[in-house]
Amino acid sequence: MSPGGRARREVLAVAADDLADFGDDERGADTVLARRVVDPANSDPDEALEEVGLRPRSLAEFIGQSQLVEHLGIVLQAARQRRQPVDHILFAGPPGLGKTSLAGIVAAEMGAGLRITAGPVLTRAGDLAALLTDLQDGDVLFIDEIHRLHHSVEEMLYSAMEDGRLDILIGKGPTARSIRLELPAFTLVGATTRTGLVSGPLRDRFGFVGRLDLYDPADLRAIVERSARILKVDAEGATRIAERSRGTPRVANRLLRRVRDYAEVRGDGYIDGVTAGEGLELFGVDELGLDKVDRAILSTLCDRFGGQPVGLTTLSQCVGEEPDTIEDAYEPYLLQSGLIQRTARGRVATQRAWTHLGHNGPADAPDPSSTLPLF
């Protein structure tokens, strides 16, 4: 049970004990209830504000993705000048790069309300109908993982996006009839990590498609420094964290919180470069941003199989993770960092992986350092 849940249960228990002391005295009981209801459990409002403040709230605060931000700024400003809802927008890219933050920024820049849902949640056409008919003029509807929409829901979304209406079939058989519902003008913002799984008809109905890429070290350092100012971390500590954040703001902010926890428990609460390095080492994040599973994958390829190609199924069994988890969560960064390569026979560790593990490596290990970007 969470600390908040325990605190609430303790408050209710104390209130019950106090009520028993009053017996049938209703006025005394009302006094106890009133005092207990308005007396909140222990919490730190400043902490909640800090966590919310890590997300940028306007395009001016959004760091990185300069070309996307410029294009999006033009689209939003043009819509404001015409006093119309902005075109439907699709954001695509790996997890943790700011798609949800950009959806909130779109709503804030347009002065509109924001409704948030996810593709797997909308399993029936009625779910989508209830959501759309509850919108107000100009509202922004954000659907995360939009590529996972059910087929029937997606087809209903076509007419809502294009014509601003819903055609709903009521009843069955000869008595069935169709009802057309006019929808308020709204903006659909979709987010996907698998652009290829978004169907062509759905993708074509978005007026603006923005692709988010991994952040370069300079932009990521600026993001960490912004978050560091909110969480009271110095510049050297922020730089150390940025170097190990895998080019992803979400990872950077997560590591920043964990290092802050380490500094508060094991230190004096101040985070400099040394403290940041010690905290990251304690949580198993090395200088390349690799965690325990990443290193297990490299160790399997180099130590157990001696540099020979390894199939995905064999690799997953050796590491103890599902094949889909390795392929979707770990391989992309290892490939982008030039630590492994995919071949027709399986996964192969590169010379950079051997060096990172402290080995010389086989003489014929591929060296992609001249062609692949390093993050």
Tell me which residues are annotated as active site.
Answer: 99-100, 144, 193, 250
Give the containing element (helix H, strand E) for 114: strand 114-118
Using a 10 angstrom Cβ sphere, with 0-12 exposed, 13-18 middle and 19 or more buried, the burial of residue 323 is: middle
What is d(CA 237, CA 177) in angstroms, rounded to the nearest whole number? 65
Q: Are 249 and 219 in contact (CB under 8 A)?
A: no
Which of 278, 277, 255, 287 lies closest to 352, judged by CA? 287
Alpha helices in 45-144 (DSSP H): 45-53, 66-82, 99-110, 125-133
Q: At CA 125, angle to CA 121 and CA 128, rounded to 5?
A: 60
Alpha helices in 267-363 (DSSP H): 273-282, 292-299, 312-319, 323-325, 331-336, 351-356
Q: Are 78 and 103 in contact (CB under 8 A)?
A: no
Each residue of 216-253: b (16+ CB within 10 Å) or e? eeebbbebbbbbbeebebbebbbbbbbbbbbbbbbbbb
Q: Is the dihedral of CA 101, 106, 110, 115 positive or negative?
A: negative
User: Dihedrals φ, ψ of 165, to 5°?
Assistant: -150, 160
Residue type, 203: R
Q: Are 218 and 66 in contact (CB under 8 A)?
A: no
Give the containing element (helix H, strand E) for 301: none
Q: Are 55 and 63 in contact (CB under 8 A)?
A: no
What is d(CA 311, CA 91) in angstroms, rounded to the nearest whole number? 33
